[in-house]
């Protein structure tokens, strides 16, 4: 880990480095490394950042019941809270043990993030090279609309099937009443 490392951003291919691994870890902890970004210590062999266990990218953020962001770090979760991308009601999943819980149920994370919201963050790391910008995890509005329309269509289909079943049962019920009354 004492070697020089390089970060390649997935979205635009820009490369940062060489930097020491502790800088890579700081970038990961401040949401500057996204799940699809890659790392290398030789610029020949690249691996996705979550595959480096020392970064602690062990958390998935549940954006919707079918969309997730991650894996990412606890520090990145704090940054996303600060940016307003997630709230205390957002569910996260620990990829190491499968535990699913709301951010609010993680007191150390939630309370630290809330304290950070109340303070101006003016911390500057002197000597740190300029790093990548903070990753964003919002899914596009069009994707949300498409998913909601699909869910609505499925619910309408299920409602139509239920209505058909109800009418069939009502018909059978009325038929049985006529037989009993005859």
pLDDT (average), residues 2-24? 92
| Token pair in block for residue 160 | 């139509």
pLDDT digits (tens, 9 = 90+) for 56-84: 999 999 988 778 889 999 999 998 888 88
Q: What pLDDT was estimated at residue 125? A: 42
Residues 106-137 as b/e (b if ≥16 CB within 10 A, e otherwise) read beebbeebeeeeeeeeeeeeeeeeebbebbeb
Q: What pLDDT was estimated at residue 1? A: 63
Q: What pLDDT was estimated at residue 130? A: 59
Cis omega before residue 18 (within 30°)? yes
Residue 92's H or E segment, with its range, is: strand 91-94
What sign has the CA pseudo-torsion 42, 134, 148, 61?
positive
Of residues 169 and 144, more confidently modeled: 169
pLDDT digits (tens, 9 = 90+) for 114-148: 776 665 444 434 344 556 776 655 555 566 667 77
Residue 22's pLDDT band, with cuts at 50, 70 and 90, is: very high
Residue 14 phi, psi dihedral angles, 5° rounding: -65, 145
**What is the phi-psi region of residue 57: left when phi exceeds 0, alpha when psi lies from -120 to 50, beta otherwise?**
beta
Cα–Cα distance for residue pair 30/75, rounded to 1 Å: 6
Query: What residues does 59 pair with on adjacent strands?
Result: 72, 94
Q: What pLDDT was estimated at residue 163? A: 92
| Token pair in block for residue 150 | 């699909």
Q: Which residues contact 76 (CB under 8 A, 6 or more apart)?
A: 28, 29, 30, 31, 33, 59, 135
Residue 40 phi, psi dihedral angles, 5° rounding: -155, 150
Is a pLDDT exceeding 50 seen at residue 33?
A: yes
Q: Is the pTM of this model over 0.75?
A: no
Q: What pLDDT was estimated at residue 122? A: 41
pLDDT (average), residues 40-56? 95
Q: What pLDDT was estimated at residue 144? A: 63
Q: What pLDDT was estimated at residue 110? A: 85
Residue 92 phi, psi dihedral angles, 5° rounding: -130, 155
């Amino acid at each position: 880990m004492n070697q020089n490392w390089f970060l390649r951003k997935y979205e635009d291919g820009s490369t940062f480095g060489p930097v020491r691994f502790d800088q890579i870890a700081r970038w990961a902890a401040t949401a500057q490394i996204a799940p699809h970004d890659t790392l290398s210590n030789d610029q020949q062999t690249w691996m996705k950042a979550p595959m480096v266990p020392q970064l602690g990218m062990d958390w998935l953020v549940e954006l919707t019941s079918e969309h997730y962001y991650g894996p990412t770090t606890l520090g990145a979760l704090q940054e996303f809270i600060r940016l307003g991308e997630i709230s205390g009601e957002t569910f996260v999943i620990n990829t190491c043990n499968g535990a699913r819980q709301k951010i609010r149920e993680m007191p150390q994370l939630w309370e630290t993030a809330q304290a950070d919201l109340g303070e101006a963050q003016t911390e500057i790391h002197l000597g740190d090279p300029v790093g990548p910008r903070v990753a964003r995890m919002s899914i596009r509005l069009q994707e949300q609309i498409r998913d909601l329309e699909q869910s609505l269509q499925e619910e309408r289909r299920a409602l139509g099937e239920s209505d058909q079943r109800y009418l069939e049962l009502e018909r059978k019920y009325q038929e049985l009443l006529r037989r009993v009354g005859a």
